[in-house]
Amino acid sequence: MNWWHIHQSVRAMRQGGVIAYPTEAVWGLGCDPFNEEALERLLYLKSRPRHKGVILIAASVAQVEPLLRHLDPAQRQRVEATWPGPVTWLLPDPDHLIPEWVKGKHSSVAVRVSAHPVVQTLCNSFGGPIVSTSANPAGAQPAKDLLRVNLYFANRVDAVMPGPLGDLDQPTQIRDLITEAVIRT
């Protein structure tokens, strides 16, 4: 991995910017989840309504530990059995640790601990989870290559972290921890 691109991507996020990066199946857009202006800009770029919320992606369970503390042992085991990996969980946030601009209209927060090496490097270098949402305008196909990212967002993202996509054909599965429903297959 090119450390210059990592440094540029992390610096952009710390300064309130939006980045593009490869994930398990599609390219994603990311930013600092605790910077409301950065998230508003990301949503504007995608033409995505705020009420839908976005996913948080992390490099390790330790980076999202505060969200797991209140889970009972069976719930925690169910979540951790899929991480790191391609499963996004809707987790309760009773302590309101995650800002409403990340969760949208939901009381839960979508979280994934990724095994993708670029994602892990970004989150570890950033020092915690980042926003992850597919790199496409609302209604368009998610970007599967850097050319498509550039067609959608040329000169409108602050950094691009190059790298290969993972080996999934579809975006990661989303499961609700409380209802056990599969939201996205």
pTM of the model: 0.94
Omega cis (within 30) before 84 = yes
Place of tokens 């020092």: 127
**pLDDT band with cut points at 50, 70 and 90 for residue 172:** confident
Q: What is the mean pLDDT of the chain?
A: 95
User: Which pLDDT belongs to residue 181?
Assistant: 87
User: Which pLDDT belongs to residue 39?
Assistant: 98
d(CA 59, CA 144): 22
d(CA 32, CA 42): 10
d(CA 118, CA 124): 10
Phi, psi for residue 101 in degrees, rounded to 5: -70, -20
**Residue 42, domain CATH:** 3.90.870.10
Range of the domain at 71: 3-184
| Number of domains, the chain | 1
pLDDT in tens, 66-114: 999 999 999 999 999 999 999 999 999 999 999 999 999 999 999 999 9
